[in-house]
C-alpha cells in the first residue's frame, strides 16, 4: 500500500535527489531542482511528505515551505541542510513550520524513518479534519502496563492522542502513574499515563508524557484504522 504514497523532494543538487530516490524506492518520489516547479507540484499532487533542501538559488527551504503553506499545502516537511545551526532554520522548526531538521550528510535509514513519521502525521492530520478534539477511536492494541514495578498485559478498547481506555480487572487508584509500552515498526513505544477514571472492566488513562516519536506512532495507528474503514 505504501507504494502509492507520494513524496516530493526539492534540491538544487542532482546527486542528493538521486540518493533520496534510491532510499525511498517504495514510494512515488517526485524530484525537483527548481523550487517554483516543486511548489506547483505540491499544490497539484498533495504529497504526504516533502523533503526540502535549505540552500537553493531562487528561495531557501524555509521560504519554500512558507510559499507552500500560502498555497494551502498541509504536507509535513523535512528540512535537509548542512547548516542546522542557522537561526532561521532553528526558529522555523521551533514554530512547527516543518517536522524535523535532517543534517547533511544523512543516512538512508535515518531519512526513511523520518519520512515514515511525516507520512503518518500528514495522514493523521488530514483524517482528523472536521473531527472533534480528543476523539477516541476503536483501535485494539496489546500493551505492557507497568504499575508500581509490576508488569501486566492489557489491551486498548479505544485510543486518542491524549489518552486510552484499557481493558483490565486490576483495581488501580485514581491518579496512579502507569507506563505503557508496545512495539511499533520494530521499535518500542513508551507512553507515561495516569489513571483518570475507572470503569467496569477497564481503566481510563490520560497520557501525561508522550514523546514526539510515540505521538506519531499512535497517530499512525489511528490513521491506519481510519483508512481501513474507508
Please state the rounded mean pLDDT for residues 105-123.
86
Which of 94, 109, 24 is closest to 62 using CA atoms?
A: 94
In terms of Cβ atoms closer than 10 Å to its own Cβ (0-12, 13-18, 19+), residue 99 is buried
Q: What pLDDT is stored for residue 1 in this prediction? A: 40
| Cα–chain center distance at 112 | 12
Q: What pLDDT is stored for residue 226 in this prediction? A: 65
Q: Rg for the chain (alpha carbons), in Å?
A: 20
The 10s digit of each residue's pLDDT in 135-161 is 678 888 899 999 989 999 999 988 887
22-26, 59-63, 131-135: range with lowest mean pLDDT: 131-135
Q: What pLDDT is stored for residue 3 in this prediction? A: 47
Please state the rounded mean pLDDT for residues 15-25.
94
The 10s digit of each residue's pLDDT in 73-108 is 999 999 999 988 899 998 888 777 888 888 888 889
pLDDT at 206 over 70: yes
Please state the rounded mean pLDDT for residues 182-187.
86
Domains of the chain (ranges; CATH) run: 2-128 (3.40.50.2300), 142-229 (2.40.10.220)
In this structure, the number of other CB atoms found within 10 A of the CB of residue 83 comes to 12
Q: Which DSSP symbol is given to 203? A: E
Which of 147, 128, 124 is closest to 203 using CA atoms?
A: 147
Amino acid at each position: 500500500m505504501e507504494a502509492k504514497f507520494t513524496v516530493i523532494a526539492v534540491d538544487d543538487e542532482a546527486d542528493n535527489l538521486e540518493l533520496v530516490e534510491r532510499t525511498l524506492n517504495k514510494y512515488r518520489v517526485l524530484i525537483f531542482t527548481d523550487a517554483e516547479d516543486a511548489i506547483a507540484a505540491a499544490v497539484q499532487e498533495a504529497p504526504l511528505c516533502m523533503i526540502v533542501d535549505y540552500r537553493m538559488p531562487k528561495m531557501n527551504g524555509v521560504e519554500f515551505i512558507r510559499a507552500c503553506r500560502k498555497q494551502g499545502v498541509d504536507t509535513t516537511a523535512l528540512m535537509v541542510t548542512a547548516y542546522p545551526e542557522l537561526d532561521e532554520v532553528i526558529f522555523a522548526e521551533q514554530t512547527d513550520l516543518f517536522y524535523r531538521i535532517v543534517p547533511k550528510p544523512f543516512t538512508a535509514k535515518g531519512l526513511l524513518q523520518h519520512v515514515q513519521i511525516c507520512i503518518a502525521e500528514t495522514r493523521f492530520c488530514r483524517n482528523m479534519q472536521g473531527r472533534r478534539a480528543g476523539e477516541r477511536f476503536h483501535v485494539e492494541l496489546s500493551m505492557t502496563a507497568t504499575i508500581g514495578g509490576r508488569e501486566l498485559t492489557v489491551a486498548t478498547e479505544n485510543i486518542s492522542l491524549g489518552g486510552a481506555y484499557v481493558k483490565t480487572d486490576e483495581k488501580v487508584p485514581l491518579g496512579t502513574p502507569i507506563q505503557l509500552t508496545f512495539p511499533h515498526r520494530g521499535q518500542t513505544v513508551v507512553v507515561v499515563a495516569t489513571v483518570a477514571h475507572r470503569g467496569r472492566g477497564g481503566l481510563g488513562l490520560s497520557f501525561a508524557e508522550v514523546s514526539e516519536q510515540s505521538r506519531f506512532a499512535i497517530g499512525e495507528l489511528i490513521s491506519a484504522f481510519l483508512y481501513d474503514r474507508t
